[in-house]
Structure 1
Amino acid sequence: MGGSGVPVVVGLDNGGTSNNATVLTVDGRFLVDGLVESPSEVGTGPEAAIEALARAFDGVLALTGVPPELVRAVGLDTPGPASATGVISSRGSTNFSQPAWRGYDVRGALERRLGLPVVYHNDGNAAALYAHHAHFGAEAMRRSSVSAIVGTGLGGGVVEGGRVIAGAAGMAGELGHVHIPLTGLLAPDQPVPTCACGFAGDTESVASLTAIARNLLPYWLTRFPGHPLAAEPPARAAKLVRSYGERGDELAREIFTQQAMALGRLFTVAANFTDPHAYFVGGGVVEAASEFRDWFLATVREHTVLRAEQAAVATFALVPERDTAGARGVAIAALEALRGAPAPQPVIGD
């Protein structure tokens, strides 16, 4: 596969248990169709994790037959919170729980280890970037999008002109912590949901796996006494809700209706703030049977309030190939950085 001598970039998607890697040629061809996984070692600490990323790098090159000298740059994503330059939050995170990770420059460490330029995004931004480019293709650099990635928490990203909006501190696109109106979303006696970040009534407090376990399922089990999920441990019960939803279970559909409504209200905020061309939904909530997936996306769309002019041009779609979206997204980011679009010049000089 790599015998053509075309330069490439490598995308590395770092997760709590596994790394996934891909290779993208400078003329825009992915050389890997599916997952190329290896252990991430993040629980062992930063040094072991950097070595694991280096092994993932070497492994995907060996698989594709690309010699190391043809690699021009590397894209890296990790779970957040982290800065725009890849410094893990000083408060730590779920995946980077050891004290040694707090304030650790994971991008810089990998760059030194590989001796190549490394471009960084958090995993939500990476998936959002891939969704954008996969959907728009040749028009990607002239389009905008907002993505919500529903997982343990709620990640996402804002893409404008084909590039992720990172923000001054790297915290742009933290859509899970945008507050949404709860009137009409919650049942009359349902408690206001709380988020692990300390907020009450943000999007993640409703639309995430953690929200199901912490806020939604405990309430709805009081409305459906005798439901089989009541007999399960809470963490396992939360993970089983989707399979019940796929089968049309009434309790599960109540939960996912609230999650879809929350995303619709989030996208309504986005419509009035960024006015994107497309709204993407990804994550475990849509890794489901087609009937459930289509119903969920349609419910999100139903609860997104757009003006007529916006509705005429907006698209609602799913993040494609979610398992590989992170690695592909940061590979795209690395390629764009390599191409080095010139920065605009200031209008007013010193």
Structure 2
Amino acid sequence: MDGATVPVVVGIDNGGTSNNTTVLTLDGRFLVDELVETPSEVQAGPEAAVAAMARAFDGVLTRAGVPRESVRAVGLDTPGPASATGVISSKGSTNFSQPAWRGYDVRGALERRLGLPVVYHNDGNAAALYAHHVHFGTDAMQRSSVAAIVGTGLGGGVVENGRVVSGAAGMAGELGHVQIPLTTVLAPEQPVPTCACGFVGDVESVASLTAIGRNLLPYWLTRFPGHPLAAEPPARAAKLVRGYGERGDELAREIFAQQARALGALFTITANFTDPHAYFVGGGVVETAPEFRDWFLTAVREHTALRAEQAALATFALVPERDMAGARGVALAALEAARDLPAPPPLVGD
């Protein structure tokens, strides 16, 4: 789609292997309808990674037919932990493992490289923001939501009145590390799960790919002796569980039922803390066959304890277009910054 004469913002979703990018006009139209991926180079260190982001920026503008002069702002997301202004944690992270990344101001570096304002969110917040605006449309600025994104870990975000709640240090919405009651989650005599962060019994210790390999699959294999997954290397076995779940395998369904109960426990806490209008679930756990994802979302809903007044207003839904949600979410954040209005209108029109 040619946007040569239209002011735009660009969204860059930075990941461990790829940068995903998109272009959004100031009147809320995405000019890129497909996934646009380029290598992220994050394992080569900060300088190489920022250069790769700049190449991704140039490439998506070329694809959209938009001159660089039309860009008003850029949105950037990365995996966390990072501050609200885009400074990577002093301890680094899974994606940013080299010492040079620790305490690195990735937002500021990209801003200097491009010579344009750069707005930052972590990837969970970006996906949450996109889900919120797509779901609520013109009512988005008057609604609230919570999103849980189940992947290698568990990310998420809290959106209030159409804006991400970042918190003082940018760590708000780190839903994976909320500790939950386990009495309704675990099976009898099942070991209490531990998280890679050091917490015991947080959401990520149950609802994540890492949790399957670390905590859930080892236990359930003892209850299903002779299961084919027992013959697989542990890392591969964890990744295969989803396919078994889609086919109705009993062991796999037990694992995903536990994950659904964990998300229900998380959303129950959220209901008593922020009382949102909507609860979103995203990530690989729902990027599956329709029967399986409907079963999973229904299980999450059934294990979320809402008061009658809340249940009458709340909705449960999937994060749409998960592969593109991060780039589109930070593009929406950049759009608000580019508009710079005291009371911004809806970011996504009808």
Q: TM-score range by the shorter chain?
A: over 0.9
TM-score, normalised on structure 1?
0.97
Instruction: Map 1:133-282; keep pairs closer than 5 Å.
Output: 133-282=133-282
CA distance in 2, matches of 1:222, 1:339: 57
Q: Hey, what does 1:78 align to over in structure 2?
A: 78
Query: Counterpart of 1:182 in 2: which secondary structure?
Result: coil
CA distance in 2, matches of 1:3, 1:278: 33
CA distance in 2, matches of 1:187, 1:67: 58
CA distance in 1, matches of 2:277, 2:235: 37
What letter is aligned with 1:86? G
CA-CA distance at 1:4 after TM superposition? 5.0
CA distance in 1, matches of 2:247, 2:92: 38
CA pair 226-90 structure 1, distance change in 2 beyond 3 A: same
Query: Counterpart of 1:252 in 2: which secondary structure?
Result: helix
Q: Hey, what does 2:348 align to over in structure 1?
A: none
CA distance in 2, matches of 1:105, 1:340: 24
Query: Counterpart of 1:273 in 2: which secondary structure?
Result: coil
Contact 1:2–1:67 (CA<8 Å) still a contact in 2? no
Deviation readout 1:167-213 (Å, 9 max, x if unpaired):
00000000000011001211111000000000000000000000000
Q: Hey, what does 1:347 align to over in structure 2?
A: none
Deviation readout 1:280-302 (Å, 9 max, x if unpaired):
00000001000000000000000
CA distance in 1, matches of 2:178, 2:17: 28
TM-score, normalised on structure 2?
0.97
CA distance in 1, matches of 2:288, 2:36: 22
Q: Hey, what does 2:293 align to over in structure 1?
A: 293
Query: Counterpart of 1:183 in 2: which secondary structure?
Result: coil
* Structure 1, unaligned runs of 5 or more: 344-350
CA distance in 1, matches of 2:185, 2:37: 39
CA distance in 2, matches of 1:250, 1:117: 51
Instruction: Map 1:57-96; keep pairs closer than 5 Å.
Output: 57-96=57-96
CA-CA distance at 1:340 after TM superposition? 1.6
* Divergent runs of 4+, >3 A: none
Contact 1:80–1:93 (CA<8 Å) still a contact in 2? yes
What letter is aligned with 1:40? S
Q: How many residues align?
A: 343
CA-CA distance at 1:6 after TM superposition? 1.2
CA distance in 2, matches of 1:324, 1:112: 25
CA RMSD, aligned part only?
0.8
What letter is aligned with 1:212? I
Contact 2:4–2:65 (CA<8 Å) still a contact in 1? no
Q: Hey, what does 1:7 align to over in structure 2?
A: 7
Deviation readout 1:208-233 (Å, 9 max, x if unpaired):
00000000000000000000000000
Matched-pair identity in %:
85
Contact 1:40–1:49 (CA<8 Å) still a contact in 2? yes
CA pair 215-3 structure 1, distance change in 2 beyond 3 A: closer
Q: Hey, what does 2:346 align to over in structure 1?
A: none
CA-CA distance at 1:342 after TM superposition? 2.8
* Structure 2, unaligned runs of 5 or more: 344-350
